[in-house]
Amino acid sequence: MGYEPHSLCFDAEDDTTILRYMDFAQLMSILKEDQLFFPSANLLNDPYEGTIPSTHRELREESDEIPSEWSENYLPRFREIVKNYTFISCWHMNNTESAAMWNQYLKSDYGVCIQSTVERLKSSISGSNSKIHISKVNYINFSSEYFEKEERNSIPSSISPFLHKRNNFKYEKELRAIIHTPVWRDSTEDSIITAERISDVHSELDAGDGRKVNIDKSELIEKIYLSPNADEWVSKLIRKMLSDYGVSDEKLSQSPMARPPSF
């Protein structure tokens, strides 16, 4: 399967440069297992992840076609559960490294930044057994704006909450690769699962903490930058790792942010 377009996603140009900041263990996993980990949206830090703007909620509450029990209980519970079946790989769109991103995503001096492009990401996941959507994040005011492609929809699509974030996060310039697999059908009956029953069905399943997606690591990795504060031994170790796992060590370089200033 691999990459598949989605009408509600916000497309990025194929030549857009994307960056992913990660620790040593995450890099090792990519190199050794030829896999990219997509954590569950339920584990991401933003408490608004998977939620809808108050504008859509107010439309839902005002609608004569939606029973109050659905509006107040079933639909909110449904959206909470959908977070468990949505898995996201987050990337930063930028032509240069970001000091803020280094500080936000790394807890030590041993991390790296993988540079790729949207085109490389699409190509690298082409052999995956999962359907993967790719979208820029659209930043909006959750108090006054609607999801851009679903204005005045009282029940927005289940994927839209994962394509939007609050304006406070604009600095992230985020691009997402998304696996979105809500439990729409009963496993024992070929029937649609309604909002009333989804809690029961969810309790019988184990969505897990994430999904591992098979990738072509050489295609995905255009460059690797060492953390600006990394020691020389870290560089030697990662070069050996790259060589051991069939990736050219010429892709590795020290972060340009490590260059000494001039006076």
Residue 89 contacts residue 210 (beta carbons within 8 Å): no
Q: Could you report the per-residue pLDDT of 29-47, keeping only the tens digit for each?
A: 899 999 999 999 999 989 9
Instruction: Tell me what pLDDT residue 108 has.
Output: 63
How far apart are the C-alpha atoms of 259 and 77, rounded to whole Å? Answer: 51
| Cα torsion angle, 215, 217, 219, 220, sign | positive
What is the pLDDT averaged over residues 77-94? 92
Q: How much is the pLDDT for 206?
A: 62
pTM value surpassing 0.85: yes
> So where are the chain's domains?
2-258
Rounded to the nearest 10°, the torsion over CA 225, 230, 235, 238 is -70
- Report the sign of the C-alpha dihedral through residues 230, 236, 240, 246, in that order: positive
State the number of CA atoms in the 13 A half-sphere of 102 facing the CB: 20
